[in-house]
Amino acid sequence: ENKYQASEINNGSDQVYKNIEIAKKSFEAFNKHDWQEQANYFSDSCSYLDPSYGDSPVVKSRKEKIEKYSKMEQMSPDITDSITSIFGVKNKVIVQFTSSGTAKTEQGYYKWSLPICCIFTFKDGLIVKDETYYNRGK
């Protein structure tokens, strides 16, 4: 269970607390590989800044998010995210986490691990912007 308690790290705002809880629930759904539940925490026209989409923000639907995560699960069936830090300020929640799993390649299986930081922007209880940062490697 996550050792970080939202009440210890937010500025006392009920909305900040709720946003942190929603962010945590989105990670719980991710770790269950329940892509539909996970996508429902995001708006249907969410803006993504993610190295996997290139260097500029793109807008994706929930359906497109589900398709992307389903493909990630096929490549790494045991993919999981472990939150190392989470905090909220105003309408933003910042999450540091490590994504890890086992990938199957032509050379066999290999374990991988990737530190990631994302900034979620919330509006009306949904994530409307997801800015995710990590090193894609070569």
How many CB atoms within 10 Å of residue 17?
17
- H helices of the chain, in order, are 6-9, 14-31, 35-39, 62-75
pLDDT-derived band at 4 (thresholds 50, 70, 90) equals: low
Mean per-residue pLDDT for 86-94?
A: 96
pLDDT at 104: 85
Token readout for 123 is 């509006």
Percent of the chain with pLDDT over 90: 86
pLDDT tens sequence across 61-86: 999 999 999 999 999 999 999 999 99
Q: Tell me the C-alpha to C-alpha distance, in Å, between residue 72 and each of 38, 62, 78, 110.
A: 14, 15, 10, 15
Question: What is the per-residue pLDDT across 97-126, written as a single tens digit (0 to 9) for each?
Answer: 999 999 988 999 999 999 999 999 999 999
- Written as six digits, the tokens of 24 are 């945590």
Q: Candidates 3.20.20.70, 3.40.50.1000, 3.10.450.50, 1.10.357.10; correct CATH number of 11-133?
A: 3.10.450.50
pLDDT greater at residue 38 or residue 105: 38
CB 46 within 8 A of CB 59: yes
**Selection from 43, 45, 116 nearest residue 81 by Cα:** 116
pTM: 0.88
> What is the per-residue pLDDT for 13?
77
Is the predicted pLDDT of residue 7 greater than 90, yes or no?
Answer: no
Alpha-carbon span 37 to 125, nearest angstrom: 14
Q: Spell out the domain ranges in the chain.
A: 11-133
Higher pLDDT, 119 or 9: 119
> Quick check: 1 pLDDT over 60?
no
Query: Does 12 or 51 have the greater pLDDT score?
Result: 51
Nearest in space to 123 (alpha carbons), one of 46, 66, 54, 64: 46
